[in-house]
Amino acid sequence: MKKTKILVAAAIAIVIGGGILWAADHIDAPAVTGQATDITDVYAFKGANASSRVFVINTQGLLSPAATSTAKFDAGTLIQLNIDNNNDNVEDLVIQAIYDGTNMKFYGPAKPAATGLKSQLEGAVTASVAVTPYTAAVPVTATGTNGMQVFAGPRDDPFFFDLNQFKKIIAGTASSFNNPGTDAFAGTNVLSVVMEVPVSLLNASGGKINVWATTKKKI
């Protein structure tokens, strides 16, 4: 297996029990601005029932509708969800997604052979789904051999942030945000990878997990 080297870990989500915290990064990392490796957000939440958890990794933010119609996942970029299930801040499991030019293929959840800066594809493909076109009326989803449900394709950027007001606060010309604010990301899109995973596959200790996402390039 070819190993891949990390380029950026742009967004982190920490899930503790039923709660969630997240961090956002929209082209804030100069090394990946405008590239397929740019992570905008990571989300984690309960699925439609208590027996599953949903993880969303969004990349390539601030896509206009015109840019979205031609935007693609990069076949040389590994999108990896890292799962720490014993609270030591080291990934115990990974779910990996990589584009083959037509489909997004998923590996895991699996124990990684290496942690940190390098990864290799872990085991066999557990799920594969065609990338949903921007013009599709209905998203394309698939269910893997382990019960994991997956999606890959363009979505409206769900993150809300009043960037202009934030800049005013930083500049000292405003003291607080407005209610309601103005969403700077309205009308922009992302390329999204979504995984709904049975809880039984997460090996959570005491029902708690920490998760974060990384993108890694082949070397």
Structure tokens at 88: 């030591």
How much is the pLDDT for 205?
A: 66
Span 166-199, pLDDT tens digits:
999 999 999 999 999 999 889 999 999 999 999 9
pLDDT band at 14 (very low <50, low <70, confident <90, very high): very low
How much is the pLDDT for 6?
A: 37
How much is the pLDDT for 118?
A: 86
pLDDT band at 207 (very low <50, low <70, confident <90, very high): confident
| pLDDT, average across residues 38-64 | 92
Span 93-116, pLDDT tens digits:
999 999 999 999 999 999 999 998
How far out from the chain centre does Cα 86 lie? 21
pLDDT band at 76 (very low <50, low <70, confident <90, very high): very high
| pLDDT, average across residues 145-167 | 94
Residue 32, pLDDT > 90, answer: no
pLDDT band at 13 (very low <50, low <70, confident <90, very high): very low
Domain ranges of the chain: 3-157+191-218
How much is the pLDDT for 34?
A: 62
Instruction: Please tell me the pTM assigned to this model.
Output: 0.85
Which residue is listed with tokens 């029990």?
A: 17
Residue 16, pLDDT > 50, answer: no
How much is the pLDDT for 50?
A: 86
pLDDT band at 117 (very low <50, low <70, confident <90, very high): confident
Residue 28, pLDDT > 70, answer: no
| DSSP class per residue in the chain | --EEEEEEEEEEEEEETTEEEE-B-SS-SGGGTTSTT-EEEEEEEE-SSTTEEEEEEEEEEEE-HHHHTT----TTEEEEEEEESSSSSS-SEEEEEEE-SSEEEEEEEE--SS-TTEEE--SSEEEEEEPPPTT-SS--EEE-TTS-EEEEEEEE------HHHHHHHHHTS-SS--SS---TTTT-EEEEEEEEEEGGGT--BTTBEEEEEEEEEE-
